[in-house]
A = this chain, B = another copy of it.
């Protein structure tokens, strides 16, 4: 049981839901990934041990509890990743050729610049910002 798992367990119990075997497997698979995963990818990765309908339900439960967050970058699919309060704040490199999404963590200095920038945007737009995400589009090393 990884360190984060304790936090996940607590968060779920606060939401009044159980941290069952299937849910643990999904969370573990997401922890092991190096980018957001779709329900189908998770189902695959778990070798069918968790049926696809359960993967969807589990993701919905985890999202509701704030353990994972959805990410929409590819055509018709939703990918999920461990929420930032557990995994740390980061951004995404999106390959415009193959669609792969890679996490990237900014050095503190860049991140604070970005936060200041978002703050200014929020002010100038009468929009109460609660989060932000920088998406850099380009070619991944494999497609370059």
Which residues from chain A sit less than 8 Å from chain B, CB to CB? 70, 72-76, 78, 91, 93, 96, 102, 104, 106-107, 110, 113-114, 117-118, 120-122, 124-141, 144
Contact = CB atoms under 8 A, between A and B. Distances in A.
18 contacts: A72-B72, A72-B74, A72-B75, A76-B76, A91-B121, A93-B125, A96-B131, A107-B124, A110-B121, A113-B113, A117-B134, A121-B134, A122-B138, A131-B138, A133-B134, A134-B134, A134-B135, A135-B135
A144 B117 contact: no
**Copies of this chain, tallied across the complex:** 2
Contact of A132 (B78, B121, B136): B136
A63 to B, nearest CB: 11
Contacts of A128: 138-139, 144
A135 B133 contact: yes
A127 B132 contact: no
Contact of A127 (B74, B125, B138): B138
